[in-house]
Amino acid sequence: MRRRVVVTGMAGLSPLGGDWPTIRAGLLAKRSGVRVMPEWDGYEGLDTRLGAPVPDFAVPGHYPRKKVRSMGRVALMATRATELALADAGLTGSTLVTDGTTGIAYGSTSGSPPAMEIYAATFYTKRSLKGIAGTDYLQFMSHTCAANLAQFFGITGRVMPTCSACTAGSQGIGMTRMNIPYMLGTIFTPSRDRAKFIGSFFHFANGWLFSLLYVVAFQIIGRSSWWFGALIGLVQAGFVLTMLMPVLPAFHPRMANEQYGPTVVRQLEPPGFLGLHYGIRTPISVVFAHIVFGIILGGFYSVK
């Protein structure tokens, strides 16, 4: 069955500007949002000095402090972009946003680095919890955008707090129904809400763990590059699709078995070979996400 997607409103905050006329003028003038980042000079081993930051972003004055204290820069910019998109669609203040018919598919790969830095420095370096605010995790968690957008705009419909922008986009356009954080979280709890929270944290930790395997591969061959990272990502995607997903029901306590079907406890649909049970284009989205992951690691890591 073909599904039609209608774009009713759009917005974005970019290095070229925060509205379409400004961005369009920049593109036509062939201006680049990329610039040299001299503030990165103090990072040993970082070979690149090029970045594309969004300049002059300020938190709108009408945002209630109670609603933004759990947001870092990533979630704040997502909130502003979403607010502008709703206005563009004519949905500002509409009951359609809060009546349960509106959902969110939003991924940000990771949350705000400053909050993550505070947490890591305090907990792992100082080995203390003093100085860590209750909202720090909410700012650096990988699903910070989806969670904060839902509470800010009062959205009670379906929320897909994926750990990567690639996966969020795939779900949003109907390319796949697979929600990896939810799938991982239900290993530990039957609660849907807690499963998404636990699964997002677990998937984030998995990303760090697998990135170490990429680093080992780079060190073994004595070089790193975007194409070698992409190649490793392709191999990892192949392993996930052909080896891991088919055997997932064997150790997942709440996932149904393909041979025996669902039970009272095991009701989660198994992904099957290549994850095809979650949509025929699921393998494409998985391969794409892992290749992008590998390109980022290979492009930024420097072999010493």
Q: Give the CATH number for residue 134.
A: 3.40.47.10
Neighbours of 32 (CB within 10 A): 11
Q: How many domains does the chain fold into?
A: 3
The mean-pLDDT minimum among 13-17, 138-142, 158-162, 169-173 falls in 169-173
pLDDT on residue 267: 67
Q: Do residue 122 and residue 218 come from a single domain?
A: no
* Residue 169 included in any domain: no
Q: Do residue 84 and residue 136 come from a single domain?
A: yes
Q: Which residue has the tokens 């704040």?
A: 76
* Residue 46 included in any domain: yes
Q: 75 - beta bridge partners? A: none
* Residue 172 included in any domain: no
* Residue 84 included in any domain: yes
Contact in structure between 278 and 271 (CB atoms under 8 Å): yes
Q: Domain boundary residue among 114, 132, 161?
A: 161
Q: Do residue 190 and residue 288 come from a single domain?
A: yes
Q: Do residue 48 and residue 64 come from a single domain?
A: no
Q: Do residue 86 and residue 142 come from a single domain?
A: yes
**Domain range spanning residue 123?**
57-161
pLDDT on residue 28: 93
* Residue 171 included in any domain: no
This prediction's pTM? 0.56
Q: Do residue 205 and residue 263 come from a single domain?
A: yes
Q: What tokens were used for 144?
A: 């910070």
Q: Do residue 79 and residue 37 come from a single domain?
A: no
Q: Between 52 and 252, name the one with better pLDDT.
A: 52
Q: Domain boundary residue among 161, 188, 209?
A: 161
Q: Between 126 and 264, name the one with better pLDDT.
A: 126
Q: Do residue 42 and residue 78 come from a single domain?
A: no
What is the C-alpha separation between 53 and 128, in angstroms, rounded?
A: 32
> pLDDT band for position 265 (50/70/90)?
low
Closest CA to 178 of 162, 155, 189: 162
Q: What percent of the chain has pLDDT over 90?
A: 15
The arithmetic mean of pLDDT across residues 270-275, rounded, is 79
* Residue 248 included in any domain: yes
Contact in structure between 272 and 255 (CB atoms under 8 Å): no
Classify strands 159-160 and 104-105 as parallel, antiparallel or unpaired. parallel
233 has pLDDT over 80 = yes
* Residue 250 included in any domain: yes
Q: Between 135 and 295, name the one with better pLDDT.
A: 295
* Residue 284 included in any domain: yes
Q: Do residue 43 and residue 68 come from a single domain?
A: no
What is the C-alpha separation between 257 and 156, in angstroms, rounded?
A: 31
Q: Do residue 247 and residue 268 come from a single domain?
A: yes
159 has pLDDT over 70 = yes
81 has pLDDT over 90 = yes
Q: Do residue 106 and residue 70 come from a single domain?
A: yes
14 has pLDDT over 60 = yes
Q: Do residue 291 and residue 193 come from a single domain?
A: yes
Q: Domain boundary residue among 38, 56, 74?
A: 56
Contact in structure between 107 and 120 (CB atoms under 8 Å): no
Closest CA to 9 of 92, 73, 67: 92
Residue-averaged pLDDT of the chain = 82
